Every structure is written in C-alpha cells, then in structure tokens.
Amino acid sequence: MRDRIVQTALRLVIEPIFEHQFAEHSYGFRPGRGCKDALRRVQTLLDEGSTWIVDADLKGYFDTIPKDRLMGRVEERIADSRCWRCCEVYLDQGDGGADVA
C-alpha cells in the first residue's frame, strides 16, 4: 500500500513536467486519453482517406532502455533529488516490489 501511495505522489509530480513532450497521437497510459480516443483518431484518418494504420507495441522494449541515460534525462528536468531517487529505485526494482518510503 505504501508503494502505491509513493508511486501516485511521484506520478503527480513528474507527469506535468514530461507530459507535454510526448507525441500528440500517443494514447497509452496518458492522462485524459484512452482506447476510445485512439479509435476516434483511427476513424478520422480513415475518413481522410488513409489506407494504412500502424500500431506498434514492442514487448519488453522498456527493459532495453539504458537506465543511466534515462535517469540523466530525468535529472535534467527534476531538481529535487528525492524525487529522481524514487524514480531510480523503481527502475532498479525490475518486476519485484520496492520499499521507497
């Protein structure tokens, strides 16, 4: 339960910092966006005459991102070392649980 509270607090801090940099037509795990928004976008593209729609979901891709480079980018945008240290702990935990509180 404590981890969920910390994760939610962390998301509330970092989401506004990074959200505006994400691709406009990316819908997964984005605030105020969901699968119905993606379907509406597909319908719009089809109505405009598009004949190809490509959806990519690369399994395990996040595991291949160099964590040191990712954390370097996080540290560039977030001044509070406690905040980016929490991010680092969650990245280092893999699929297991972490106690960051």
pLDDT band for position 99 (50/70/90)? low
Task: Give dist(CA 64, CA 81) in Å, integer.
Answer: 24
pLDDT tens digits for 32-59?
Answer: 898 899 999 999 999 999 998 887 777 8
Task: Give dist(CA 61, CA 46) in Å, integer.
Answer: 29
Identify the DSSP state of 99: -
Tell me if the pTM is above 0.95. Answer: no
pLDDT band for position 1 (50/70/90)? confident
Task: Give dist(CA 8, CA 83) in Å, integer.
Answer: 12
The tokens 């959200």 sit on which residue? 19
Would the pLDDT of 22 be above 60? yes
Task: Give dist(CA 27, CA 33) in Å, integer.
Answer: 6
